[in-house]
Structure 1
Amino acid sequence: MKVLAFLAAAYVALLTPDVATAGMLAQAQQYNGLHEVKNNKRLRTALGINPARTPWCGHFMGLIARKAGRTPPQSFGIARSWLRFGAPVKLSYARPGDIIVVRTGRSYHVGIISALSKSTAKVIGGNQSGRVTVSQFTRGQVVAVRR
């Protein structure tokens, strides 16, 4: 009986991150195309802030994490706070659904990997050109990948 309990726990521990990250990607895709001005009322209600006045990539990720049954970092509205979310993953092992933190100049941005190539990461996130959309970042901009 103890062996079965151990195997069940191992199974859940190994599969839970995959299910959770896939769930986050699916949740984010449901908001794809929403614009911070054109869809302000819907985004304001969902995020709890006015996205036309506040940097909102971290707020969007907080919304998505909660909808996927995960607990966002305490300061989820700040993109850098996502450096402590979940478990670290080497970029070479990253996959769609993983959380990615990138550096853009002196600022940070957080989103969810939707696709990877040898040189770029396609990321779905909020506050990308004022909307929820997929944007492309170079692998050199990647600061962290979390699962």
Structure 2
Amino acid sequence: MRVIALLAAAIFAFAAPEVASAGMLAQAKQYAGMHEVKNNGRLRKMLGINPARTPWCGHFMGLVARKSGRTPPKDFTFARSWLRFGSPVRVAYAKPGDVVVIRNGRGYHVGILSQLTKSAAKLIGGNQSGRVQESQFSRGRIVAIRR
């Protein structure tokens, strides 16, 4: 029965990427507020790493993708690897649930789009001020949007 459910989720994800992306947003919101220190034990179990010592936005996205029936990129642990996830989307066509990779200093950060305005992208993701939360980032920092 589990195999059938997994196959159905995979077919659904490929057949309707917009619906699958919305599923990722809903999945991510279930973890909102979890903190890398206060919820360390639970996050360690879910992510397979110590989030208090390891950058974990990519790990969190891998968890959310798998729980939503999607396949994360090969090396999902790095935010930059999400540049190869799904299909590219132009900023003008971005929708809540899309995966957004942004510039973060000299590196990258990845999260799920919850809202896009003329000047900012609101993302929910892991390792945002040490927790799973929605944070606002300048649109100018967007490197890629994937669905």
TM-score by shorter chain over 0.5:
yes
Q: Which residue of 1 aligns with 2:84?
A: 84
Query: Partners of 1:142 and 1:123 in 2: how far apart?
Result: 11
Query: Partners of 2:117 and 2:27 in 1: how far apart?
Result: 23
Which amino acid letter does the alignment assign opposite residue 32 of structure 1? A
The answer (yes or no) to whether the contact 2:13–2:19 under 8 Å persists in 1 is no
The superposition leaves residues 18-73 of structure 1 with CA deviations (integer Å, 9 ceiling, x where unpaired) of 11101000000000000000000111111111100100000000000000000000
User: Hey, which bits of structure 1, 4+ residues long, moved more than 2 A?
Assistant: 12-15
Q: Which residue of 2 aligns with 1:145?
A: 145
Per the normalisation by structure 2, the TM-score is 0.90
The answer (yes or no) to whether the contact 2:100–2:110 under 8 Å persists in 1 is yes
Q: Does 1:107 align with 2:113?
A: no
What's the offset of the Cα at 1:119? 0.5
The answer (yes or no) to whether the contact 2:13–2:70 under 8 Å persists in 1 is no
Q: Which residue of 2 aligns with 1:8?
A: none
User: Number of aligned pairs?
Assistant: 136
The answer (yes or no) to whether the contact 2:13–2:20 under 8 Å persists in 1 is no
The answer (yes or no) to whether the contact 2:114–2:123 under 8 Å persists in 1 is yes
Query: Partners of 2:136 and 2:106 in 1: how far apart?
Result: 18
Q: Unpaired runs of 5+ in structure 1?
A: 1-11
Per the normalisation by structure 1, the TM-score is 0.90
Report the 3-state secondary structure (helix = DSSP H, G, I; strand = E; otherwise coil) of the residue aligned with 2:16: helix
Percentage of matched positions with identical amino acids = 71
What's the offset of the Cα at 1:104? 1.4
Q: Unpaired runs of 5+ in structure 2?
A: 1-11
Q: Which residue of 2 aligns with 1:60?
A: 60
